[in-house]
Structure 1
Amino acid sequence: METRGIMGGFYRFSEWVMRFSAINLLWIISSSPVLAALWIFSAWTAQIDDFTRYLGWWLVLGFVCILNAFTFVPASSAMFAVARKWVMGDVDVPLWRTYWKSYKANYKQSLYGGLLFSLFLGIFLFNIHYYSTVGNVLNSLALTFIVMIVLLFAAFLNFLSIMSHLHMSTFQIVKNSFLITIGQPINTLILLVLNAGIVYISILYNFLIVFFMGSVMAMISFWNFYRGFTKIQARFKKSEEDEEEEEEESDDSDDSEESEDSDGEWTEADPAEENPARLPAEKDENLEDEPSREERK
């Protein structure tokens, strides 16, 4: 029986609270090795001298960046796969099954992509530290690398969205994540502002970090990506239709010329012309062996 009115609204609200909190807790548990490493290091640095602490920060930074690729990035990709289902209308998707199936399916791509983004982050952080300690003339370069880290964060969110939505190689996903970040500045700005607001509110109210921050960021990020992607699809479809109309017109003119030319010869069509460039295929919205909505009911 479908509930309506105030009680129906409260029921739907509680459902979304459950969905966001469940996926966020799964994400935190899957990323727990990174959190444990940071906690152990913070306790260790409180008992050592400044030089050892300085050296230890760089060692732990490299360790955490590598560990991120093995734990945090695959967990985030699985969370984005669930968020993709929600944004595309499948709100009743089984959370546990979808999360872990996506975790295993995208593990290799998220691992390789995570290592690349971790490498970029380490290089940028090193340059920020180096240029901030030298003369005043070069201090502005440190600000440049800070901006690059912000753009890297936006590209990472687009990377997770693309990986959860399209069938592409890891290199293509990384490349397109940067192209989308740079080529769609308005969408990138919206993405950064919305996620910065979520992080800021979560820091003010710490319980949100545990139950909502990651899952809400994933849904907002994929919604922003999908909104831009549908616009690209519409433009691509329109250009294909225009090309088909031009080909039909050229075929009609060729047929009329061939009927007039008695000595004309037939030639095979170029396969490359019959298969124009297409957008990458979207991943199937229904995972294998996943029960239908009727079966779940």
Structure 2
Amino acid sequence: MREKGAMAVIYRSCEAAAKIAWLNGLWLLFTLGGGIVLGWAPSTAAMFAVVRKWLRGRTDLAIFKTFFEAYKSEFIKTNGLGLILAAAGCMLFVNYHFFQSRPDLFSIMISYATLLAGVMYGLVVMYIFPLYVHFQLPFTRYFSQAVLIGLVRPLTTIAMAATGGLVAYVLIVVPGLIPFYGGSLFALVLMFHAHRCFLRLEEIKAESSPESQK
């Protein structure tokens, strides 16, 4: 007999919390299994792939099977994304701190230019994995599309940054949650906003296509 009322809400909430924690455990396990450097990007992509299926109504899917299949099939390509992101992030960090400490005008200009590039980089970080699991694109287009969508959909970008910041705040206040929800909560809130954005963009594209105007 199915629970009703408040008990049903409590049961579904506990079930959802357990699934999110299990997904986070898989993310940590496969990240470590790949030696972190070669594990974090495919694990993150696999985590977003599972979350995307949840948001599309597949709440009863086999989490481990779905995660592992995505991890294995996208291992090489996602490591390419991950290595580019890591290298770009390190370059921006070093570049900014090097020029920010110098007082001449040229260095100040480079510092501001690096900050602007950092904003673009932040857009890529927020959108790249949701884009990757939702669309089939040429490899380099994931980066350009992440920046483009982040700029043309500012409300979505602000919502992603705000909810991501809220998750970070909760995890800082309650650090005991990090091993259970440190990655999966970020994936959940980022994919939630990105998925709605992608669906809306697909609707706009369909409405503006010649076929829809006949």
State whether structure 2 residue 177 is matched by structure 1 residue 213: no
Larger radius of gyration: 1
Mean Cα deviation higher: 130-139 or 98-107: 130-139
State the shift of 1:217 in Å.
1.0
Task: Assess, with a 3 A threshold, how the Cα gap between structure 1 residues 171 and 6 changes in structure 2: closer, same or farther.
Answer: same
TM alignment of 1:143-158, pairs within 5 A? 145-146=114-115, 148-158=117-127
> Residue in 2 aligned with 1:105?
73
Which stretches of structure 1, 4 residues or more, deviate above 4 A after TM superposition?
A: 241-244
Counterpart of 2:24, as a letter, is: N
Matched position secondary structure for 2:60:
coil
Equivalent position to 1:117, from 77, 80, 85: 85
Question: Structure 2: where are the runs of 5+ without partners?
Answer: none
Distance 2:159 2:113 in 1: 21
Q: Answer 1 or 2: higher relative contact order, Cα 8 Å, separation at least 6.
A: 2
Determine if contact 2:206/2:212 at 8 Å carries over to the other structure.
no
State the shift of 1:20 in Å.
0.7
> Residue in 2 aligned with 1:174?
143
TM alignment of 1:188-199, pairs within 5 A? 188-199=157-168
Matched position secondary structure for 1:90:
coil
State the shift of 1:174 in Å.
2.3
Mean Cα deviation higher: 128-137 or 81-90: 128-137
> Residue in 1 aligned with 2:18?
18
Distance 2:159 2:120 in 1: 12
State the shift of 1:121 in Å.
0.9
State the shift of 1:144 in Å.
5.0
Matched position secondary structure for 1:174:
helix
State the shift of 1:139 in Å.
4.7
Distance 1:209 1:146 in 2: 29
State the shift of 1:80 in Å.
0.2
Matched position secondary structure for 1:113:
helix
State the shift of 1:129 in Å.
1.5
> Residue in 2 aligned with 1:85?
53
Determine if contact 2:21/2:184 at 8 Å carries over to the other structure.
yes
Mean Cα deviation higher: 74-83 or 119-128: 119-128
Determine if contact 2:171/2:178 at 8 Å carries over to the other structure.
yes
- Could you list the per-position Cα deviations for residues 108-157 of structure 1 after superposition, in whole angstroms to 9, with x for gaps in the alignment? 22111112212211220111111122117545753553453354233123
TM-score when normalising by structure 2: 0.89
- Could you list the per-position Cα deviations for residues 78-133 of structure 1 after superposition, in whole angstroms to 9, with x for gaps in the alignment? 00001101111111111111110111122122111112212211220111111122
Distance 1:141 1:150 in 2: 14
Task: Percent identity, please.
Answer: 21
How many residue pairs get matched? 213
CA RMSD of aligned residues (A): 2.2
State whether structure 2 residue 1 is matched by structure 1 residue 5: no
TM-score when normalising by structure 1: 0.66
Question: Structure 1: where are the runs of 5+ without partners?
Answer: 37-66, 246-297
Distance 1:3 1:109 in 2: 44
State the shift of 1:214 in Å.
1.2
- Could you list the per-position Cα deviations for residues 173-201 of structure 1 after superposition, in whole angstroms to 9, with x for gaps in the alignment? 22212221222222212111111111121
Distance 1:130 1:21 in 2: 40
> Residue in 2 aligned with 1:228?
197
Determine if contact 1:154/1:192 at 8 Å carries over to the other structure.
no
